[in-house]
Amino acid sequence: MSKSIVTALSAALVGTSLVAPGVAADDGALAEVVVTAQRREQKLSEVPVAISAITAQEFQRRSAQSLDDIQAMVPSLRMVDIGPGSQRIQLRGVSQYLGQATVGNYIDEFSVTNPGPVGVAEVQLIDLERVEVLRGPQPALYGEGSMGGTIRYITADPDLETPRGSVAAEGSSTADGEMGYRVEGIASFPIAPGVAGLRLAAQKRKVGGWVDSPSGEDYNGREVTTVRAKLLAQPSEQFTVSLLGLYNESTQDSISFSLDGLKTAQKSITPANQKYTLGVLQASYDFGAVTLQSVTGYLDQSSFARRDIGPFFNTLFGFPAFTAAFSDANGTFERVSQELRLTSRSDQTFRYLFGATVAEGKGGGPQFTTYKPAPFPAFGIFNDRFDPYVKSETTAIYGNLEFDFASRFTLEAGGRYFREKLTQRGTTTSFDAGGPGVPRTSTVAGKGTFSTFNPRVSLRADFDGRLVYASAARGFRSGGFNLAQGSQNPTFDPESLWTYEVGTKLSFLDNRLYLEAAVYYQDYTDIQSTNVTPLGGTAVFNSGKADGSGVDLALVLRPTDTFRLTTSWGYNDVSFTTTAVDKRAGDPLDLVPPNNVSVAAEWRPAKSGNIQWTVNVDANYTEKGAIILRQIAALGFRAVAPNDSRTLVNARVSADFGNYEIFGYGTNLGNALKQVNPSFAAFVEPIFTQPRTIGAGIRYQF
């Protein structure tokens, strides 16, 4: 390795993140991945943004079904899955356990990020072309919710010329648990050859339960159903239109809370589910000098989750006030948006992109609290029913300019003006508050407008295919209103995050070695801190500041035609610099692991007859983080709740016979039972990693 390479590595000079090449090129080099992260087609190695592009081949290599299965391979990505509709995603340490999302989520060109009471729409990794994970603020092109970064799920297009498809089935067994299964089918066929085609995908899978309760065994099983259709038409070389329809439902018998990974003290089930229907209509026309694109999207989403909060209140009051108490949360969310975008040609010295988006989102759903039995009245302080409502009307105007100069350099500047008109309302009905059977109802409401402008600038240099760049970008998270009764802070303001980054993307050894590295510094202000009231409610204050640095590093090496090695490392050292409502100076952000590392190896020996064998092994390490809510110590709860460091090893072996493939896999082969989500406050038991799971299946392609 040359001295210049060693210097770049040891100094952690610059860069981005993970490239996940698909198959190798004919000459044995790594295949180039094409992405649309900057809303135009570009080679991943030419994009001056920290991106992980994970292809469909990589999903298959790791037997991945959801984002949770691939999070360790993306530097600085962290996800906690508490159940259907309750996913918390963070990138580069921009994390808070409560409040709106800090990571934008897109299906194709449509944002599914929402401000309502339901979690982000879960996406299954079936029949996707790739997943693009953009780290760092993406204000110009994505804006809303994309403070820590953006995740884009790119669905596969129909083939307009040739019918093709596949069917697959597999079974699995979880240690100390029950059986699971997955069946899926994909079909693509032309309707009018060369002009229009349709692609269909459907999947049903069950994850076998493994947690035992006093009232039953393996009670946390989960089922997921996904159906998707995509129609693509190209009536001319200039005009393209597509229509995507998607339905997804995820249901869990009971949330995976447990004392040790296998057993829970909860005597009643705590079910959860999420379902959504989505439609996206895209149309584009190429005028030659510019392309005009329209994106119309609609999302209808609902969820339900039950929590056993009896132990929480018993700890809060210091005596067993209730033998049982349950909180049932129903959530609905509806979003519609329209975007228009004008994009110049990519082969010009000066390139531009301008767009505008209008969107409306509405959410609500009653939340019930039930006491079984309550030896005392509800003391007039508990919410038996809470009806929240949120309506968000947003307008955004954005633009991005690129200019090539001095043969090697490109200057890029962009920004987005964002304006949100937000209405929130919460109606509380307390029974027995005015005497037995007498309800008391009150409403707290807030209405206001939040606006902001967020820029991004970058300078990049291309030295014969070796990219070096520097960038600065400002991200934000919108403000809102506190709906708790008697809140001292009825309104909280937006957050602001500046990220400064230098990066590089390098290819060596005749394109058999690909390296990306990044160093960044983050300045996070007006942080929306969580205050827990003496009665167990929450309110948000702008009270904190945090800063710190981080490193993303990824390497893909193909030393021979039969072997490939992929490694990635994410390091984050962002911490509070002030004492906030819920944090002290020096505290890290919630559940941010300082390090996450992934190493994966693939071996594809020469064909044996007509059989192509493939062996994949990956090991993923995630360092522990912690949820910190300092003020709840006075209420009898622990203020710092750490989870566990963990190393998970997975493997997959397949035999490809041409039209069909037989495969077997194992996840968490060491059967490591480690806390992913710690117990704290109302989460009276932690959530652990899924035990060792062994599976086998067959896939037939036609």
Identify the band that residue 257 occupies on the pLDDT scale cut at 50, 70 and 90: very high
More confident residue, 465 or 250: 250
Residue 154 identity (one-letter amino acid): I
Determine the pLDDT at residue 662: 97
More confident residue, 74 or 227: 227
Determine the pLDDT at residue 18: 35
Place of tokens 């001056």: 48
What is the SS3 assignment for 48? coil
d(CA 451, CA 617): 48
Residue 157 — φ and ψ, nearest 5°? -85, 155
Strand partners, 610: none
Q: Which domain holds residue 56?
A: 3-701
More confident residue, 609 or 186: 186
Over residues 340-394, the pLDDT tens digits come to 999 999 989 999 999 999 999 998 888 887 765 555 544 444 457 888 889 999 9
Burial track 407-437 (b if 16+ CB lie within 10 A, e otherwise): eeebebebbbbbebebebbbbbbbbbbeeee
The two tokens of residue 394 are 């947003």
- 3-7, 251-255, 562-566: segment of lowest average pLDDT: 3-7
Calculated CA dihedral for residues 474, 477, 479, 482, nearest 10 degrees? -150
d(CA 678, CA 44): 37
The two tokens of residue 81 are 């899955």
Strand partners, 386: 367, 428
Output the average pLDDT for the chain: 87
d(CA 123, CA 286): 31
Determine the pLDDT at residue 3: 34
How much of the chain is in helix, strand and coil states, percent to nearest 5? Answer: 5, 60, 35
Give the pairing type, strands 367-371 and 409-430.
unpaired
How far is CA 562 from its chain centroid?
Answer: 33
More confident residue, 529 or 336: 336
Determine the pLDDT at residue 21: 38
The two tokens of residue 262 are 């296998």
Nearest residue to 679 via CA among 255, 246, 115, 195: 255
Residue 115 identity (one-letter amino acid): P
Strand partners, 651: 617, 666
Residue 609 identity (one-letter amino acid): G
Q: Residues 266-282: what's their mean pLDDT?
A: 92
More confident residue, 119 or 260: 260
For the chain, what is the domain count?
1
Q: Residues 200-229: what's their mean pLDDT?
A: 94
More confident residue, 311 or 657: 657
d(CA 461, CA 450): 37
- 152-166, 386-400, 524-538: segment of lowest average pLDDT: 524-538
More confident residue, 64 or 384: 64
Question: 411 near 405, Cβ under 8 Å?
Answer: yes
CB 538: neighbour CB atoms within 10 A? 17
Q: Is the predicted pLDDT of residue 203 greater than 90, yes or no?
A: yes
d(CA 500, CA 505): 17
d(CA 45, CA 51): 10
d(CA 456, CA 463): 23
Q: Residues 491-502: what's their mean pLDDT?
A: 92
In the chain the first and final C-alpha atoms are separated, in Å, by: 45
Q: What percent of the chain clears pLDDT 70, i.e. is strictly above it?
A: 90
The two tokens of residue 56 are 């469909």
Over residues 653-701, the pLDDT tens digits come to 999 999 999 999 999 999 999 999 998 877 889 999 999 999 999 999 9
Determine the pLDDT at residue 75: 87
Determine the pLDDT at residue 8: 31
Distances 503 to 14, 49, 441 between C-alpha atoms, Å: 3, 8, 56
Identify the band that residue 81 occupies on the pLDDT scale cut at 50, 70 and 90: confident
Any idea what DSSP says for residue 638? -
Question: 644 near 623, Cβ under 8 Å?
Answer: no
Q: Is the predicted pLDDT of residue 35 greater than 70, yes or no?
A: yes
Q: Is the predicted pLDDT of residue 25 greater than 50, yes or no?
A: no
CB 498: neighbour CB atoms within 10 A? 17
For 317, the enclosing helix (H) or strand (E) is: helix 310-317
Identify the band that residue 29 occupies on the pLDDT scale cut at 50, 70 and 90: low
Nearest residue to 116 via CA among 333, 272, 404: 333
Over residues 576-595, the pLDDT tens digits come to 999 988 899 999 998 899 99
CATH (domain of 489): 2.40.170.20
Identify the band that residue 120 occupies on the pLDDT scale cut at 50, 70 and 90: confident
DSSP assignment of 149-183 equals EEEEEEEPPPPSS--EEEEEEEEEEETTS-EEEEE
